[in-house]
Amino acid sequence: MAQYANREEAGSDALVKETTMATFAADVLTESVRQPVLVDFWAPWCEPCKQLRPILEKVVKSAGGKIKLVAMNIDEHPQIAARLGVRSIPAVIAFQKSQPVDGFIGALPESQIRGFVERLIGPVGVSQDLKAEAEAALAAGDAAAAGELFAALLSENPDDLSALSGLVKSSVAAGDLATAENLLKQVPPGSERDPALAAARAALENAVQAASVGDVAELMRRISAEQNDHAARFDLAIALNARGRREDAAAALLEIIKRDRDWNEGGARKQLLQFFEAWGHMDPATIAARRKLSSLLFA
């Protein structure tokens, strides 16, 4: 397989390039301070890697310089992949502000890769204005308007998984969990790993959990009476998240991890990771809580 450096203009401004252990810090960690950088871990013997690469290049180039792509041959440079826990390839990990923030494994189709990139930099392509409007409406809490816009996008392109995930999230935000569940049942086979759909599924699961937990005031009373009542603190995190109090929800789970990281077979950490997936890896609450989680786990 031809290396990236042979097919793309060399230099730090190239959108697509190859990296090594010696250049990884400059190509990825430093560069990701300016814009997101995708790192494609590959090997010459990997056939799915050969299928994935041209799709990655196409999507990155269509983003107009808002994101870069860097490839690393794990046969020649295995250390970084090992540190990041990469156990199979192709594996793509997104870096922003010198930190890994998202990723996927396998040769995904173009629609899913485009959706993955859009989670990092915003909409790419013809429908970007409409999609941006839909995302803004959802972020502002206007679930009805967001749902209409995502439905319009989906009617234009039934294969747009990011629009489908947006419609699921809009249904969850509107409290229509049954519709959200039915929409997820329509996911085409082989698309289950799509990051946007995973986020929508996590949002639905969190909403279902929230419906079964107790009253916030009662949960806080239980915790006040017994600081190590981790079950109450866990339910409180679910309830707070359902009310949009993401920072407080994360803080409750982090407190459990601080007191007993193995409680309920690591249940607090697993729930926190599900929150990250539902909120989006670039959400300020996710970034802040992920930093605190790393401090607790690797202190």
For position 277, which CATH number holds? 1.25.40.10
Cα dihedral value 278, 284, 288, 290, nearest 10: 30
Task: Show which of 97, 120, 143 is a domain's final residue.
Answer: 120
Does 111 share its domain with 136?
no
For the segment 261-273, the average pLDDT, to the nearest whole number, is 92
Q: Is the pLDDT confidence value at 279 over 90?
A: no
Nearest-CA neighbor of 196 among 130, 117, 124?
Answer: 117
DSSP state of 264: G
pLDDT at residue 128, rounded to an integer? 65
Q: Is residue 107 part of a domain?
A: yes
Q: Which residues are catalytically annotated?
A: 46, 49
Residues 149 and 61 grouped into a single domain: no
- Please give the tally of structural domains in the chain: 3
> Does a structural domain hold residue 147?
yes
Residues 27 and 105 both lie in one domain:
yes
Would residue 183 count as lying in a domain?
A: yes
| Highest mean pLDDT of the ranges 6-15, 193-202, 244-253 | 244-253
- Predicted confidence at residue 125, as pLDDT, reads 59
Residue 259, domain member (yes or no): yes
SS3 state at 105:
strand
DSSP 32: G
Q: Which of 123, 111, 204, 125 is nearest to 161 (CA)?
A: 111
Residue 58 resides in a domain: yes
* Residue spans of alpha helices (H) in the chain: 4-7, 24, 47-62, 79-83, 110-121, 128-139, 143-156, 161-173, 177-185, 195-210, 216-225, 230-242, 246-259, 267-279, 284-298
Q: Per-residue pLDDT for 2 more than 70?
A: no
Boundary residue ending a domain (79, 94, 120): 120
Q: What is the pLDDT of residue 114?
A: 84
CATH assignment at residue 137: 1.25.40
What pLDDT score was predicted for residue 299?
A: 57
pLDDT for 133? 86
Q: Are 95 and 37 within 8 A, CB to CB?
A: yes
Least confident of 248-252, 276-280, 288-292: 276-280
Q: How far apart are alpha carbons 253 and 255 in whole angstroms? A: 5
The domain in which residue 167 lies consists of 126-198
Q: How many CB atoms lie within 10 A of CB 87?
A: 9
**pTM for the whole structure:** 0.49
